[in-house]
Structure 1
Amino acid sequence: MVFSRAKTYVVSVMSFPVIMVLVWMYLMMIQFYLVTISVNHDTVNLESISFSTYILFPLIGLLTDVYIGRYRAIMIGINLCFISWIITGILFILNSSYGGFMGQMWILPGSIINVIGYITFAANIIQYNVDQLIGASANELSTIIYWNIASYPTAWVLSDSLLLLDTVTADLLFIIATGVALSLILVSHSLFKHKLENVSQIKNPVKLIVRVLCYARKHKYPENRSALTYWEEEAPSRLDLGKDKYGGSFTEEEVEDVKTFFRMLPLFIAIVGFGSALFLWIPLGKAMNKSSVHYIIFKYDGAYQIVVLLLFFIYQFIIRGCCHRYIPSMLTRMGAGLVFALLGCITQLLVHIFASYDFLLIIRQILFGITCFLIYPTSLEFTVAQSPEYMRGMMVGLCYSSLGIGSIIAFMLLFLIKKWYYIITISCVFQLLILIAFVILAKRYKYRVRENEVNIVQIVDDHYQRYMEQEDEYEYQRHKVTLENETNYVIND
């Protein structure tokens, strides 16, 4: 029974398109972290810059859903990363052949292009993977989201092995591994792109939100109200006046979608708090003078990534398989994550007070690993589950941008304040305030339940129409080959 439940949550959703897109995610994350480690080792902190660019994700998601399409945006990101790999390889050869005349700057041009391609890819890949699950249940969506998020610690743990090598060998392996990862993505795409589901989105969520707000501003009372609405106990809000049953020009689903957008928006403060605490890492000098393994664990937060990866496997294969009935709600898990974030900030304060630095820093990484696992994938799960289909790209982008805002807050504290005890104290107070605000907002949040979020009939019809077109094309090509063979036979006779 236990294994059957685990199979229900883990294996049943893994159709071929889902697996292929998921492999793309892992390969892209591996190549990006390889670039990140190489640049961080040589020049600047590329990871910090990439997290700061997360504030652009809502705009990218909106443009993708309304104008470009998720499939095209993902392929643009992959091709940009492949171009960056070619540029980096050429500069590496030139720099090695002419005595290192570029110093460590040879990697920067390709890395900048790689970041642009990565953020274009990352802003759309989870939504696109969800698109491959036609008519999926909430459990199946949750499973695929967790498998996508697991690519981050997996790629980081694999990429950390480069730090144990000398600089020349690490750079060479970085170029080879990056090229192999991107080549595998492009080859699999060229072979199996016909199996992918491409859902077109045409409704602009920003335009709908603006129209509903403008209608609510201009109308204080209902117009041409339906007689059935007089039996309602509660008076309609200003936004509700836009519904067609109150004489408005919008359907009930459209108005409820706008209300859901404004209910979800404040809850993203949990991700802001997590991002600000995660990137507020103040190094101590004695951690930099020990063995390479020690260097990886403490400077690059290796223990933090390992904890996140272990928690993923425990949750996915044990907790969801055996104790799925006792898993708390999404908002409860996010609130618990903020508690661990506060404990992590307090632990960092203790790190600078007491002498047992290594032991406390390991505890800090464990606490932030638990925080990441409770907040990051759960927030994306909550966003995908609650946001309307045509708003999903923008809402997932807002979820990512909250992490970017948190990282910017942390960098500003580190830049503006020089005393470590002021920085950590402000961070602890900030985490406490966010925890209190989130608990209040979470208690007042009303979960959105939809009876028919997407037109399943239309999606299935499009799927089989595409299948029939492929079958007709196959029959045509087969008939053409048969005619050519018969013609050749007649000529030979």
Structure 2
Amino acid sequence: ACAAILLAETFERIAFYGITANLVLFLNRGDFLWTSYNAANALFIFMGLSYLMCVFGGWLADTILGRFRTIVISFVVYILGIMFLPMLGHDGMRGKLCGGRAWIIQPINATKDTTDNQEQYCDSLIYPIIAVIAIGTGSVKANIAPFGADQVKDEGPEVMRMFFNWFYWSINAGVLLSLGAVAFIQQNMGFFYGFLIPAVSLGVALILFVLGQPAYVCRSPSGSVLTNVFRIIMEACRSRRRRRRNYSQPRLVDPLPNPTWLDMAKVRYGGSFHESNVEDVKSLGKILPVFIVLIPYWMVYFQMQTTFQLQGLHMRIPPLNITMPAAWLTLFDALLLLILIPVMDRVVYPWMDRRGCHFSVLKRISLGMFFGFCAVMCAGGLETYRLQLVQNHTITQNISGTSFYAADLWIWWQIPQYSLIGASEVFASVAGLEFAYAAAPRSMHSIIMGLFFFTSGIGSLLGSGLLALVKKFNWVTDADHGNINKGHLDYYFFVLGGLQFLSFVVFNIVAVSFHRAKMKRQKQ
């Protein structure tokens, strides 16, 4: 059962990263000629919706369908969306789906006024496609890990930990295969084959998952915790006036000396909810501030496959017999994860524990946020130098049939920022998942995991919003189809760095408050 789930997850990740690895290039190149801003914005929206849909997928499984049926239906929706991408990558099919261009390509010396009003070719089809894919992948993401955990739930914590270790390994195996092979095919053989492989991979994932059905432990939907949370909050709001009443009726339990507004939903105050249910909602209120302060980190994290890639497309790529995909730089993030996670888990953390130096989850998240700040500041510094260099040392590169005017600066200079993002993920992302599971009440593990992914989706969408805001200052322009050489992407990176540093400071304040509250509860 677990083998089928792990293999399905690997093939699903191949499909997902096969979409995201080069989506910016796909839309920015000659077939579509979207501006750099709109191409990056499309990926921000796709990533954001994918993570936002995790909450919807978890609710659907818990309340109506159960996890197995939700995963199968989500895979089908996922496939229905992804099957359009190879068609968009095929010269003959693209015209039938999108029709003729709505505007004529302007010459290289076109002014900003002549390019501002150009519509993005086929956007009325592309945005619905990525929305459908996002619904599918978000619902799969929300349920496949908990469904796998259901299979080993009764076999003890050691087996459970082993499953999650292999699950995370399966994710990264899919990432490496997708970024290493699929991204290469997209840039060297074309996007028809480059998107056909993810579509086939997703079909294989569905088949493998369904084949394991006879061995699965399938649990019936037990009602949504999210629904109960809203009911408790609504009842507490309606019942706040009860605090001022004189309770003359006999009660089995004495009221609390200083009840909060949420306590008004408890049975002892005339509400209809058990004590433990309300306390779980109060715990959620203590965890959410940590998630919210992490949002700027996610804004930085999602630059890796958007603005970082745009920057790489405008730098010198090695003159090999093949075109090295700009997305290959993301491999430094994945490889660093594969190396650092076992080293930290097996060597560093045990060594620190033996010496009484406990590296708490919140400290790890804080360190990860600092690495994220360093990554985006590196990107900003590199972009400042690249913009200075491109004025006098410009080279022309043909990438996937499109000419890019690049600075005479090797793309390898991006390795530090990608590596720092990888280091940040080892601490902030992995520790964030651990915090989401460890700090959550037992009845709310699924919903809090969903909210963790939900806030990362908000981070992606806010990254898109910030890009739209700086566009008004011409830091990202529409001139020459969004040529970043005519903007100031470095200013965008520095603003992100400022937001990340501010959130780093606020996070440490929130973490201290959370730690003190936890110690106070333990003493009580």
Short-chain TM bin:
0.7 to 0.9
Query: Does structure 1 retain, via aligned residues, the 8 Å contact 2:86–2:191?
Result: no
- Which residue number in structure 2 is paired with residue 35 of structure 1? 19
User: Structure 1 residue 437: deviation in Å?
Assistant: 1.5
1:163 aligns with 2:232: no
Q: 2:68 maps to which residue?
A: 71
Shift of 1:434: 0.8
C-alpha distance in 2 between matches for 1:363 and 1:334: 20
Which of the two has greater helix per residue?
1
Q: How does 1:67-106 map to 2 (within 5 A)?
A: 67-84=64-81, 95=92
Residue 327 of structure 1 and its aligned partner are, at CA, apart by 5.7
Correspondence list, 1:340-489, <5 A: 340-354=371-385, 361-417=414-470, 418=475, 419-445=488-514, 446-447=517-518
Partner amino acid for 1:439? N
Counterparts of 1:159 and 1:304, CA distance in 2: 14
Q: Name the residue aligned to 2:315.
A: 287
Going from structure 1 to structure 2, the CA distance change for 1:403 and 1:146 (only over 3 Å counts) comes to farther
Q: Give the structure 2 partner of residue 128 of structure 1.
A: 147
What do you get for the CA RMSD once the two structures are aligned?
4.1
SS of residue matched to 2:77: helix
Shift of 1:298: 6.6
Alignment pair present for 1:58 and 2:78 = no
Identity rate of aligned residues, in percent? 20
Residues 252-261 or 347-356, more deviating: 347-356
After TM superposition, the structure 1 = structure 2 runs for residues 193-208 of structure 1, keeping only pairs within 5 Å, are 193-203=214-224, 204-208=227-231
The amino acid across from 2:68 in the alignment is Y
Output one character per residue of 1:291-338: Cα deviation in whole Å (capped at 9) or x when no partner.
469953577533222222322343455456776666622222111111
Amino acid at match of 1:336: L
2:204 counterpart residue number:
183
| 2:286 alignment counterpart | 263
1:387 and 1:300 mapped to 2: Cα distance? 36
Asked whether the 8 Å contact 1:287–1:294 carries over to 2, the reply is: no
TM-score, structure 1 length as denominator? 0.73
**Structure 1: which 5+ runs fail to align?**
1-16, 451-493
Q: Which of 314, 330, 334 is the equivalent residue of 1:301?
A: 330
Can you list the C-alpha shifts for 1:62-115, whole angstroms capped at 9, x where unaligned?
23322232222111112223445666678888948999998997x958766444
Could you tell me which runs of 5 or more consecutive residues in structure 2 were left unpaired when the two chains were aligned: 28-38, 101-120, 387-408, 476-487
**Residue 257 of structure 1: CA displacement?**
0.7
CA contact (8 A) 2:65 2:221 kept: no
* CA shift for structure 1 position 158: 1.2
Partner letter of residue 7 of structure 2? V
Structure 1 stretch displaced more, 167-176 or 204-213: 167-176
Deviation, 1:442, is 1.4
Name the CA shift for 1:38/1:110 in 2 (closer, same or farther; >3 Å). farther
Deviations along 1:106-160, one digit per CA (max 9) or x if unpaired, are x958766444322221122223233333257667656544544444443232112
Partner of 1:18: 2
Deviation at 1:368, TM superposition (A): 1.0
Give, in whole Å, the separation in 2 of the partners of 1:91 and 1:357.
Answer: 32
8 Å CA contact retained: 2:341, 2:426: yes
Contact 1:337 1:375 (C-alpha < 8 Å) held by counterparts: yes
Task: After TM superposition, give the deviation of residue 427 of structure 1 in Å.
Answer: 1.6
The DSSP-based 3-state class of the residue aligned with 1:425 is: helix
**Displacement, 1:264?**
1.1
**1:12-66 deviation digits (Å, cap 9, x = unpaired):** xxxxx33432322221111222233464443356643321202343233223322
Query: Within 1, Cα distance between the matches of 2:325 and 2:259?
Result: 58
Letter of the 2:73 counterpart: I
Q: Equivalent of 1:252, from 271, 275, 300?
A: 275
Partner SS state of residue 132, structure 1: helix
CA distance in 1, matches of 2:198, 2:86: 12
Say if 2:258 is the partner of 1:235: yes
Is the 1:346–1:428 Cα contact (8 Å) retained in structure 2? yes
Partner secondary structure for residue 398 of structure 1: helix
Partners of 2:325 and 2:191 lie apart in 1 by 15
